Structure 1
């Protein structure tokens, strides 16, 4: 038999600290639960146990506390964010049929010791999963410790059998008790012998075998006089420490075979709890895929109405969804399967449609010559607004999350019975939190705009792009030749290990920092070495050319459609601040900061007879900061058309604007753009190449110069801390549980997000609204021009040459007039045959 025993508290701690804080939309913490279950599932896969016991500590004092008042006295209490998750985790484990075990007066370590000793006595295999090295003393021929951890959100395990322990420490597992009696344990506040560390303790036990052996040979010449004095002075502490360090392997818990066999549990309750916690990704791994929470009462069974009945349906409201490859409409407990022709007809009929994911339906409507005017509500977009941090949005997951019971069951469309209830719940909730207008006036009409942009796409100069790629390959070869010549031999420049050896061993450059695999060769390290050797410039250039060629040239060539255009997919439900993203290709990521990278824009072109009209908001986030903060100095700078960065520098340095040098303006620019991201002195010092002290003073001067900005930052953090969320000017919410964290770093992260989200999120809302207005205006004026691309604060329209001036005027009017704030929003408009020319 194979027994797996988990040290529950140890593993949940590793999970909690190894994964960033996660919460549900209503603020319940879930990261420890998610991390623990990931570790557990990985252990089950690795070990394939017959039985699983999960040991948890109790709050009551143990025999060690009674033996020594100082035992674990230095430990901080469990963070509130973790404490809230413990009972929920135990509830989930019970629902999943796992057996948990605790014993008053003892620790989880003692449960691990007792269960493993009993298993070993029977000749069974026992695996102890823990993040605590104390359990290594339990390792023997039958007992293996699996040191569990979570790193960068991923769980991993280090296997420690008898050979591994002896190789690492040079003593037997049991002798680790003797080692700890000498060196103590700061985490458990076990005193040990003051002044004796791990190295000395290991050497003494390797020589004399045990604590008793050390004291029996206290006068041995192998013990240095200073160490002998410490040992003699602190003998009582050493003997006490040995008792505290030894795990009790005979405590009164059930050790009989079969005790810890996993039971049936309650699958429906587990599925319901996971849904409540919004941890949907674990359901299939736990065998709960398709398991639904218990219904309050059996729902009636319905048959689907035949498709040919649809044309005779009277006008009214229908709830649409897709299941598998087919679409269906639901009205008052009737289910109507829809073929594509019927669906297209319905999208622009007199009916009122509530849907889940409108964009694909708008694609169909546009292809059929309509605009999907019947669509009035998108449940997926509503779910995104209510919880922008969710990893995905599906009818199944949301139904479970919101506890929706099916009104009926239909074998042909299993989800049909929950649509009305789910759509009602999401509609009501969006209205309750004040985001109904944002959904109806921005997000839903934007889905139509995006569908049209995706259908239209952007023309690519394929031949030019191929030629550019060939040029990049030649440059790469030249870089490599120069690198090999300067280093003196050929090697894999893409291998951090080989590059590190070339730079820091062969060339003898000063290393900056080491990683597990060798010397660091990241971009920051290489930048710091530029002045040390000319090869660094070639390596950085090599990386630039390689990135351009592989990611952009080769990547873009793969996604050109048969019509010669790239049809990027715009993602409306990904960014937490409300920004759009795009994929296949990611147009937001086309490099513009380097002259070489920006050249890629020359291969995005207008079709023959057309031109590209490009409009870009000027400093929209700073303008929004001026409006939202109400800072009078910043507002006046924009109202009078001043150069905001020069104006800022003049105020901070108390100099006339004409005396501001490019360097001073650059410093002010870095703070202007960094301040709303909560930039700190350390980051600013690197950005503007000054000391941390100077950067700190710069920030203080900035906030003193613009008191309205300082007040905005303080008030936004206070509001976010009180409410648990911050909002944009359009009412878009972002939950920030980090603001309530006791952990300083997490709280600081929350404060930065609180300052930034209302600015960046409002900018995203404004550009979305502008897209809708531009798209509608182009159609209203009967123009052939098409909105084809949005990148951050920039819109691009492909227009017939005869319409170019009209389109430029429309873009400027609609973007600048999208909202009316105390500071004007301005848009710079350009034209050209390529994206590079037009910007």
Structure 2
């Protein structure tokens, strides 16, 4: 009997969509067509073939409207927005490239790719083939059998999991593949507009099916299901049965393709190299050509002129590791690299923070040009310290490596002071990539490898089943080893890209000097009093309980306020609140999101109470109850300050997010009271006053705006006087408030609709206010118009310090997206420059505190504000130092003002 053949069937629509959204970096062919989805798709394709070595590959696509299911359910997928034009134009291209690879494309008018995969899976299994279905859709799990495995993408296009009947059962807690349609019959699928039964989510659906056996039995025993769930189940029997039918993958599509004819690889390497090189995919041509079994010489000959001559730096076509060395050999290789002043790529396998019984080991991988050095335990710390002090260290996440020596807990000793790190000796590839594309979603080694080296980060595997190799060979390179080599290779590639982009100075002069400052602030943390948090939680808990009782009394019944469906039922069915203009969710109830409730709260007290309840419940769960568990050994909270999250250039805070505590609410004030300082110290805050408006005055050069700031008078009152045509001394609080809204709205590119919404006025009145503003400050209008024009011309907006925001929305045809891009073009020069200025200020303040020998220390940054812990004896000196340093960062046409305040805790300081 011949060996069993393996056929892989790719869900083309699913993977193209995933690739498009995973790789947001603008990519285009020489003729201007977008290619990011193609890039992700074929990186996935290569990984698929490399990992599973199928004997045949087929790719299925949807064609036309899903008529087969729309005949059952007219609203099927009706809520989905039109496909992004940049993705739409890539579908003909992917089919053409698949043709070049001699991969059959299978599509049928009116049928979905799911049904093609289902039909091929059953045919192949019957014919004795091993079938692999590569998709991102979970409803495909119903097709899993012993001989049909679902290779499911978990994240992006590179992280996959293999679903067998056993793993489907484990995932859904008792739902076997044949029961997946029954499961969807109960829970529905909002992404496809499949209704299911209202109020029954995945957990309840699984529990019901496991208890009764299948959907038919659940329906037969619906009378036994108690409460609202039982009511809904009995009322929606037809919906459940229809949903199951719609969710069932068809296996009878009229496909003419013969599986026996699907063979791979059978393509011509020269044709493939030419086709992919023409799109600019030179980084993957060799990897594709090698799939044919061609020798290296044949591949090189096929590549011809489409080689490294056009590359900005030596870009690998596959990530191959140099030899692994340990002990004295590793020490020698590292010493040689340091002697040559070469960048050493580093990554750490560290179990010390995992709290596992045996999780105490840590390994440093240090990649040099000729060797991959492995250091374990104490030797890892020694090597890492040596690199920070004397070498040149590159990594995707330098700050995390620094914390291995300088922990985020002052109770733990530090082998290296963050201030001792020379910014010229560190190169964070994640930060570099962020400067090139700040709105990307992932700056990890894996994503950077695919985007900038043109190859995926290899995943050590013992077998096609995806089991890590670590158990088989403890000396084998891990994923961190590949990340170290990737970091080393990324330095010249990203360095060239930064230079061409005009962002190299921003990287070396602002972002890298900032990194050790952030690491030190994270180590310092903020002092917090858990007893205050506990008391506030109890107090707020009592308030919440009273509010729940009051809302229940107003509704005339008890219900779960945290259930959108139950809340909707009470507000609109029981209380009869107006629903005009409101949209229903896919589950069939009116939305109760913040905007809907905010509009209703003006006229209905019970809705205002619900919003108050939500705010209190969120504050209690997010901060008062969660923060005590985050207090470390030194009795302090240590947040992480991120350089690569906010697309604007601002820093963000996470684990916990201390920037998100409401600033102007009484509840936020309560939380801040718990952030105390040690006895003999004060909490000092210094923030820039109206920095973005001052930058607007500087950048626009509008003489009236500049004069308003230089006069030292109340700026918002001065604006109100000019906009509303009244003397300054006759400006009322209401006029000032409106002028303030216009001032900040203009900075953010706000249009009439947004201003009307924020001020709760008519759109015509809002437009009139904006027109008056531009009449009063004509230089601002001219500046903003020119900013938009230049951004359209260049494809990006920039700050005073060269921080670019690439505006991919300009390449779209959707007017709303283009309008968003234009607002970004208006706002980025101000908001991005403000982010640059506060970063420069942080570096200078930290340096001056050290130079002056002060014990005061930076502990937090919140957008335009720096927070410090200051000994009482240093209050005057530290206040003056911080204020003058912040004000001296930039010389503008108007004063740059920083205002100092302080108190015994964070709340008193602000």
Alignment TM-score, normalising by the size of structure 2: 0.66
Q: Residues 155-174 of structure 1: matches in 2 within 5 Å? A: 156=192
Q: 1:95 to 1:541 in 2, by over 3 A?
A: farther
Mean Cα deviation higher: 446-455 or 413-422: 413-422
Secondary structure class of the residue paired with 2:431: helix
Q: Which of 886, 891, 902 is the matching residue for 1:820?
A: 891
* SS class of match (2:626): helix
Matched, 1:556 2:632: no
Matching residue within 77, 99, 106 for 2:104: 99
1:830 aligns to what SS in structure 2? strand
Shift of 1:416: 5.8
The CA distance in 1 between the partners of 2:840 and 2:112, in whole Å, is: 62
Q: Does 1:723 align with 2:772?
A: no
Partners of 2:430 and 2:540 lie apart in 1 by: 43
Q: Secondary structure of 2:883's partner?
A: helix
Distance 1:401 1:6 in 2: 22
Q: How does 1:233-312 map to 2 (within 5 A)?
A: 254-259=256-261, 295=317, 301=323, 303-304=325-326, 306=328, 307=330, 309=332
Question: Which residue of 321, 343, 347 maps to 2:346?
Answer: 321
Q: Residue 434 of structure 2 is aligned with which of 360, 373, 384?
A: 384
Alignment check: 8 A CA contact 1:453 1:788 kept? yes
Alignment of 1:729-768 (within 5 A): 729-768=800-839
User: Which residue is 2:608 aligned to?
Assistant: 537
- The one of 637, 646, 653 aligned to 1:566: 637
**Alpha-carbon distance in structure 1 between the residues aligned to 2:903 and 2:120:** 80
Q: In 2, Cα distance between the equivalents of 1:804 and 1:7? A: 64
5 Å matches for 1:392-471? 392-403=442-453, 413-414=481-482, 420-471=488-539
Q: C-alpha displacement at 1:401, in angstroms?
A: 3.3
Structure 1 pair 469/38, CA: closer, same or farther in 2 (3 Å)?
farther
In the TM superposition, residue 13 of structure 1 has moved relative to its aligned partner by 10
1:61 corresponding residue in structure 2: none
8 A Cα contact 2:23 2:451, kept in partner: no
Tell me: CA distance 1:495–1:698, structure 2 relative to 1, closer, same or farther (3 Å): same
C-alpha contact 1:22 1:29 (8 A) present in aligned 2: no
CA distance in 1, matches of 2:15, 2:447: 25
Worse overlay, 468-477 or 412-421: 412-421
Contact kept in structure 2, 1:766 and 1:818, CA below 8 Å = yes
Shift of 1:607: 1.1
1:627: Cα distance to partner?
Answer: 1.0
CA contact (8 A) 2:319 2:482 kept: no
Cα distance 1:121–1:836, how it changes in 2: closer, same or farther (>3 A)? closer
**In 2: Cα distance, 1:52 partner to 1:156 partner:** 25
Distance 1:734 1:745 in 2: 18
* Partner SS, residue 60 of structure 2: strand
How far off its partner does 1:606 sit?
Answer: 0.9
Q: Does 1:86 align with 2:91?
A: yes
Instruction: Give 5+ residue unaligned stretches, structure 2.
Output: 46-55, 65-81, 138-180, 197-251, 289-314, 351-362, 407-413, 461-474
Is 1:333–2:373 an aligned residue pair? Answer: no
Q: Does 1:360 align with 2:400?
A: yes
Match of 2:142 in 1: none
Residue 420 of structure 1: how far off its partner (Å): 4.4
Task: Give the Cα–Cα distance (whole angstroms) in 2 for the partners of residues 718 and 764 of structure 1.
Answer: 23
Determine the structure 2 residue equivalent to 1:703: 774
d(CA) in 2 for partners of 1:703 and 1:506? 48
Cα distance per residue 1:61-109 (max 9 Å; x no partner)? xxxxxxxxxxxxxxxx99863464235533675699852158xxx9687
Quick one: structure 1 residues 737 and 277, their matched pair in 2 at CA, closer, same or farther if it must change by over 3 Å? Answer: farther
Contact 1:275/1:397 (CA < 8 Å) preserved in 2? no
Deviates more, 1:532-541 or 1:574-583: 532-541
Structure 2 CA distance, aligned partners of 1:429 and 1:294? 16
CA distance in 2, matches of 1:298, 1:484: 64
Q: Which has the larger radius of gyration?
A: 1
Q: Distance in 2 between matches of 1:57 and 1:824?
A: 61
In the other structure, the counterpart of 1:342 is: 382
Per-residue deviation at 1:21? Answer: 10
Q: Look up the SS of the partner of 1:527 in the other structure.
A: helix
Question: Tell me, what secondary structure is at the counterpart of 2:625?
Answer: helix
Which residue pairs with 1:24 in the alignment? 26
Corresponding residue SS for 1:324 = strand
Aligned partners of 1:601, 1:278: CA distance in 2, in Å? 51
Aligned residue for 1:796? 867
- Rounded Cα–Cα distance in structure 1 between residues aligned with 2:843 and 2:890: 13
Q: Over aligned residue pairs, what C-alpha RMSD do you find?
A: 4.9
Cα pair distance change 1:778/1:436, threshold 3 Å? same
**After superposition, what is the alpha-carbon deviation per residue over 1:363-393, rounded to whole angstroms, capped at 9, x for unaligned?**
3555224422372433332122122233223
Contact 1:321–1:328 (CA under 8 A) maintained in structure 2: yes
Q: Secondary structure at the match of 1:452?
A: helix
**Structure 1 match to 2:697:** 626
Q: Return the offset for 1:548.
A: 1.5
Instruction: Kindly indicate whether the alpha-carbon contact (under 8 Å) linking 1:774 and 1:810 is maintained by their aligned counterparts in 2.
Output: yes
Number of residue-to-residue matches in the alignment: 686
Secondary structure of the residue aligned to 1:561 is coil
Once residues 904 and 496 of structure 2 are traced to their aligned partners in structure 1, the CA distance between those partners, rounded to angstroms, is: 48
Aligned equivalents of 2:880, 2:806: Cα separation in 1:
39
Tell me which residue corresponds to 1:288.
none
Matches of 2:17 and 2:371, distance apart in 1: 50
Deviation at 1:620, TM superposition (A): 0.8
